[in-house]
Each structure stands twice: as structure tokens, then as C-alpha cells.
């Protein structure tokens, strides 16, 4: 069995805490590796190396830092197949989905190559008599990120690419469920020319998280995961004086208007609701058809599509629509919520409870489920299921449908399918959700826009990637300069007035 390591100061380092977690093959249920769980001393070791390396890296001009990112992009493309294979083997998602995971991270790295432009400050000539003023963006120092299992390539790159482009060192604490790809990314970045100690991977659980939160050298923390943990990290990190951005849970609605193309809407729900086994924070988990006729027409299109979904291991190639969920505990939680939906009166129109894959009976596979007649007081509506379960809530009017998305505690993403521009524009303007799709089911912005939700889906002032990332990973310093030829004799005892 493989024993994984940390990646500290450019080398694979065995864990010393004596604690380990099992890493499973989700398709077979077998333990395929163990990963060390760091203690505070191991985290501190990484911080010491990061601190020693960071000042020299920050002094490298942004253009040369960008060249390292360019080379990193080349290496990601070179090793795309290898990264996707490793990701699928530990996470369970299909190879095309795994490649998408890597590519959406790669796109943020490409954006960060623009660091020379994005880090430019401002300058005011002659702000006062003989006085000039200018601002500069400077790195924070040592930064850290805590990332989830569902995107083991994309979300780490969303964090460490801008942090490093800004001149920071970065310590990554990835999910212990699928840690191999983050280790591979750190190796590739150093192969691209990144100095040792600038990107380090320290595996762990809550003990490692708490070590990050309470370490007085670490200046900022990024987190993606569940809302309860996001709230804990945000509150604790802020209390420790750190800059913190935390992204939590989601319950994304897709509203289907009577004039929508039902084939298009059904196809969109299929991919957005069941892709990656529903283990996406931007998955559509609630379909809201407006009017019973719309709901009936949607169900007529959707039911046979859901029933025809192919579930299996990623090794089956193009014959698989989605794979297993990540752990046995995740599977059990999904099945519990499905039963709760039935018990609370929802109509299960596609029942995936008896799904069984020959030869993979011990794998963490969950069949596709489709509910109709769900109401907003039911648990399957209120809670994030994070599995291949789509709930249909029938709304009688557009205002009722809009209200469902607006009243839910989560506000990550939402979508509307319609041919009416006025309705779409009204929806985009009024709904209190961070990312909106108009005839687009998963409205994940591209790298040069920012990613982030509202309400209990986010904690912090700045979003991920795009311009916000360069604000999050830098501090602004403003300089007011006057040279001796413009000085008057005698001291000044009042605030200077720029006249």
C-alpha cells in the first residue's frame, strides 16, 4: 500500500505525528493509500521554510514571476492525462470531468500570468506643491489555503496561483480524501522554476487546520467547504487578525419558465444535477418549473433521461455519465436524505436506491434520484445533499419561483431558462444570489471574473480569482513624497493641505 507524504521545502517528507488517514478507491471501496495527518510542529516547519523563501520571491519582479507561471501552464498541459488519471482514481469522477477540473484551474493560472498589469499601482503627479503621491500593491507574506475533496486540482490552483503571482509563499492543506493531485501540482510548479518553500503541501485534518488558524506568521487563509466549517474558520481566523475568505454550502435553483425550450432545460438539468455525482458546489439540486403544465412537460422530458444515466467506474471510459461518490459516509448520508424525502411526502419518480454495479458491489456508487412535489419545509430542499439527487419544487407563478431562490439561506448560484429577455433581466437584477445563469445551468464565471456567492454561501468581502484575488493577496501602500528643493524652513505642526 502506498504511503503518501507532505511536500515541504521542495521534498517529499514523511509524516511524524503518527496519525494517518485512509485514502480509498471510491469505485471498489478498497483502501489504496494512507496519508499523514500533520500536527502543529509539522505545520510550523513548513511555515519556517516559507518565511525563509518568501522575501526573495517577493523581490523577483512580477514579469519574471509570470514566466514561472507560463512554464507551469505548459507542464499542466504536458501532464494532463497523468493528472486526470490520478484525480479520477482517488475522487471517482470520470476522466473528462477530471480534465475539466484541471483545466478550470489552469485557466486561473493563465489569468495570473497578467500579474505585471494586475499589480500596477496608481500615481498622482503634483498632488500638492512639489508633492507626488503613489500607491503600490505588496505581498502579504506567508498565506494558506484549505481546500475540499470535490475539486482537488481546480480550487488549489484558484488559491495558490494568484497568491504566488503576488509574491507570497503558500501552504496548501488539501482534503485528506484525495491528496495525490495537490502533491503533483507542487512538484510541477517547482519544475517550472518556482523556488523551494514557496508552495508547500501539508496534509491533515482539524489539527492541521487549527495550526494554520493560530499560527501568528500566516497572514491570510482561503477555504472552500461546508458552511459550518466556513463559519468556524472565518470567525477564528478573523479573531486571530488574519485576512480570511471562506466559501460554504449551496442549494442552487434552476427556474424553468413556461416558454423555455423543454429539451434544452431537461438536458441542462441532467448535466448540472447529476454530473460528478452531484458533488459540486455549483450543481443544480432544485428544479423550479413555473406552472403545473410546465412541470408536467419538464417531467415528461426529464424522467427518461435520468433513467438512462450510466453510472460506473471512470475506467469504463465514455460509457459512464458519472462515477461513485467519494466515501462510504457520503453515500450513507445521501441515502439517509433520500429516505427522509420519501418519509416527508415527496414523490420519488426515479428511484436509484437499489442501484448495484456487478463487480463493484463494495464501491460507493449511488443511483440517480429524481423527486417531484417537493416543498420548502422538507429536508431534501433545505439541506445540501451533495449527491445525484434532484428535487423538483412546483411554483405557480414567476414571483413564487423567484421567492424560493431568494428566501433560501444559501446564495451561491442560480439559473433561469426562458426565451423572454424581460423576465431574464428582472431575475438577474432582483435575485439575491452571487452567480446567475441565463439559459446556462452552471454559471461558473471564467477566470477573469470573480467567483463567489451571497448569504450563507460566503464569508468575507472578496471573491475567488479574477481581480478580487489580487486584492486579497496584497496590501496597498500609499506614499506621499516631497523632495528637499520644495521644503520650507521650520517644522510643520498641522496636517498638510494639498493646495
Cβ atoms of 427 and 436 closer than 8 Å: yes
Please give the helix or strand (H or E) that residue 21 lies within, else none.
strand 20-25
Residue 166 appears among annotated catalytic residues:
no
Q: In 10 A of CB 400, how many CB atoms? A: 14
Q: For strands 142-146 and 389-392, give the pairing.
A: unpaired
Q: What pairs with residue 322 in β-bridges? A: 311
**Measured between alpha carbons, how far is 368 from 378 in angstroms, rounded to an integer?**
19
Cβ atoms of 173 and 192 closer than 8 Å: no
Query: Which of these, 3, 1, 7, 2, lies nearest to 184 by C-alpha position?
Result: 7
Contacts of 64 (CB under 8 A, 6+ apart): none
3-class secondary structure, 417: strand
**Measured between alpha carbons, how far is 422 from 412 in angstroms, rounded to an integer?**
23
H helices present in 275-420, as ranges: 292-307, 328-343, 379-382, 398-407
Helix count (H) and strand count (E) of the chain? 16, 23
Query: Which of these, 111, 24, 115, lies nearest to 328 by C-alpha position?
Result: 24
Torsion-angle region of 440 (φ positive above 0: left; ψ -120 to 50: alpha; else: beta): beta
Q: Could you say which of 112, 166, 246, 281 is catalytic?
A: 281
Contacts of 140 (CB under 8 A, 6+ apart): 166, 168, 219, 220, 243, 473, 474, 475
* Active site positions, annotated: 281
Amino acid at each position: 500500500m502506498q504511503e503518501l507524504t507532505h511536500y515541504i521545502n521542495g521534498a517529499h517528507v514523511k509524516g511524524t505525528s503518527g496519525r494517518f488517514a485512509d485514502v480509498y478507491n471510491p469505485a471498489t471501496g478498497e483502501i489504496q493509500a494512507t496519508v499523514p495527518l500533520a500536527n502543529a510542529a509539522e505545520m510550523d516547519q513548513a511555515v519556517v521554510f516559507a518565511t525563509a523563501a518568501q522575501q526573495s520571491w517577493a523581490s523577483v519582479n512580477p514579469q519574471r514571476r509570470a514566466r514561472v507561471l507560463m512554464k507551469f501552464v505548459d507542464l499542466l498541459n504536458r501532464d494532463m492525462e497523468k493528472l486526470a488519471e490520478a484525480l479520477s482514481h482517488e475522487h471517482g469522477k470520470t476522466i473528462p470531468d477530471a480534465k475539466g477540473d484541471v483545466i478550470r484551474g489552469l485557466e486561473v493560472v493563465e489569468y495570473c500570468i497578467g500579474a505585471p498589469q494586475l499589480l500596477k499601482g496608481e500615481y498622482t503627479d503634483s498632488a500638492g506643491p512639489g508633492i507626488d503621491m503613489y500607491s503600490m500593491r505588496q505581498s502579504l507574506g506567508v498565506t494558506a489555503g484549505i481546500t475540499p475533496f470535490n475539486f482537488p486540482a481546480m480550487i488549489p490552483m484558484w488559491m495558490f496561483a494568484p497568491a504566488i503571482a503576488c509574491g507570497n509563499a503558500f501552504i496548501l492543506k488539501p482534503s485528506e480524501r484525495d491528496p495525490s493531485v495537490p502533491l503533483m501540482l507542487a512538484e510541477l510548479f517547482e519544475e517550472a522554476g518556482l523556488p523551494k518553500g514557496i508552495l508547500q503541501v501539508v496534509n491533515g485534518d482539524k489539527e492541521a487546520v487549527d495550526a494554520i488558524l493560530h499560527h501568528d506568521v500566516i497572514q491570510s487563509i482561503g477555504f472552500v467547504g461546508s458552511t459550518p466549517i466556513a463559519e468556524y474558520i472565518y470567525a477564528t481566523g478573523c479573531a486571530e487578525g488574519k485576512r480570511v475568505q471562506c466559501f460554504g454550502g449551496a442549494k442552487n435553483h434552476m427556474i424553468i419558465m413556461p416558454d423555455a425550450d423543454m429539451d434544452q432545460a431537461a438536458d441542462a438539468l441532467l448535466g448540472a444535477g447529476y454530473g460528478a455525482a452531484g458533488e459540486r458546489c455549483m450543481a443544480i439540486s432544485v428544479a423550479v418549473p413555473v406552472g403545473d403544465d410546465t412541470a408536467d412537460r419538464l417531467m415528461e422530458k426529464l424522467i427518461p433521461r435520468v433513467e438512462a444515466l450510466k453510472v460506473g467506474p471512470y475506467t469504463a471510459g465514455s460509457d459512464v455519465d458519472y462515477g461513485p461518490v467519494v466515501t462510504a459516509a457520503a453515500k450513507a448520508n445521501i441515502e439517509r436524505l433520500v429516505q427522509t424525502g420519501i418519509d416527508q411526502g415527496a414523490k420519488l419518480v426515479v428511484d436509484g436506491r437499489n442501484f448495484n454495479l456487478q463487480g463493484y458491489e463494495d464501491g460507493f456508487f449511488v443511483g440517480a434520484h429524481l423527486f417531484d412535489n417537493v416543498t420548502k419545509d422538507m429536508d431534501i430542499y433545505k439541506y445540501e445533499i451533495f449527491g445525484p439527487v434532484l428535487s423538483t419544487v412546483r411554483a405557480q407563478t414567476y414571483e413564487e419561483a423567484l421567492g424560493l431562490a431568494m428566501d433560501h439561506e444559501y446564495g451561491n448560484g442560480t439559473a433561469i431558462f426562458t426565451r423572454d429577455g424581460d423576465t431574464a433581466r428582472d431575475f438577474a437584477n432582483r435575485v439575491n444570489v452571487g452567480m446567475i445563469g441565463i439559459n446556462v445551468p452552471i454559471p461558473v464565471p471564467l477566470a477573469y471574473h470573480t467567483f463567489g456567492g451571497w448569504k450563507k454561501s460566503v464569508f468575507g468581502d472578496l471573491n475567488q480569482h479574477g481581480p478580487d484575488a489580487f486584492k486579497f493577496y496584497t496590501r496597498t501602500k500609499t506614499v506621499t513624497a516631497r523632495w528637499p528643493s520644495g521644503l520650507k524652513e521650520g517644522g510643520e505642526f498641522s496636517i498638510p493641505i494639498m493646495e
